[in-house]
Structures are given as C-alpha cells and as structure tokens.
Amino acid sequence: MTPFGKKLRELRRARGVTMKEMAAALRVTPAYLSALEHGKRGRPSWRLVQAIVGYFNVIWDEAEELERLARLSHPRIVIDTSGLAPEATEAANRLAEEIAELGPVEIARLLAILDGRKRRKSE
C-alpha cells in the first residue's frame, strides 16, 4: 500500500463511502481505485487528486497533504545516481535490495534522517 492509498482508504472509510460509489462519482472503475489503494498502480494524476479533494470536500491543509502523498506514492521508483559519489549508488542499491526486510522502526529512522535533512535545508 502506498501513503496515498492508505490516506484514500482512511478518507473513504471515515465517510462511509464504498469503493463502488466513489469510483462512479470520479468516473473511474472500482478496480482502478482498489489498485490505487493497494499500491498496484502508479501515482495518481493531478486531475484525479483534485477530483478526490473535491469529492471529499477536504480543507486546504488536507488537500495539500493528499497532493504531497500522491507525489510520494509511486510504488516502483527509479533512482538515478549517475554523477553522484559511488557511496550514493551503493546506498540506493542496498536500499532497493533490503527495504522489504526493514521493520517499521528502521523505516521510521530512515524517514527521520530525510526529514531532518529537509528541515535543515529549508532553514
């Protein structure tokens, strides 16, 4: 499941909407919505994200969060390390090999490192 798929499922369930109802309103198939929720489809288009925002009538902050999650929800990533240090290529390859075996705490640590870097960069 992707971050966007998880959030989409939470919104849908919290509002008591079935996948079939939502799919009909958004003019997509229930199979597509299911695949999106389960991370079996790539990130949703900007248009679809906006349609979902409108469908749920979410507030601005939540709409921005949905857009952010959609950007971070491509289930098959390609990392281009050309031109970077050899250690960057090694890190990318090792992460690709080992990510399935990392536990929630280890994943949280990696995300914390990235979040901390982003905060320092924006200061």
Q: Which residue is associated with the tokens 């924006």? A: 122
Closest CA to 25 of 37, 12, 43: 12
- Which pLDDT does position 35 carry in this prediction? 92
- Please report, for the chain, the start and end positions of each structural domain, with discontinuous segments joined by +: 3-71, 86-122
The pTM of this model reads 0.70
Longest CA–CA separation in the chain, Å:
50
Q: What is the pLDDT of residues 19-57, one digit of tens each?
A: 999 999 999 999 999 999 888 887 899 999 999 999 999
- Which pLDDT does position 39 carry in this prediction? 84
CA–CA gap between residue 13 and residue 50 (Å, rounded): 19
User: Rounded mean pLDDT of 74-93?
Assistant: 90
Asked if residue 39 lies in contact with residue 73, where contact means CB atoms within 8 angstroms, the answer is: yes
- Which pLDDT does position 77 carry in this prediction? 83
Within 10-123, strands assigned E span none
User: Rounded mean pLDDT of 52-80?
Assistant: 89
**Domain 3-71 CATH (choose: 3.20.20.30, 1.10.760.10, 1.10.260.40, 3.30.540.10):** 1.10.260.40
Asked if residue 20 lies in contact with residue 27, where contact means CB atoms within 8 angstroms, the answer is: no
Asked if residue 1 lies in contact with residue 37, where contact means CB atoms within 8 angstroms, the answer is: yes
75, pLDDT greater than 80: no
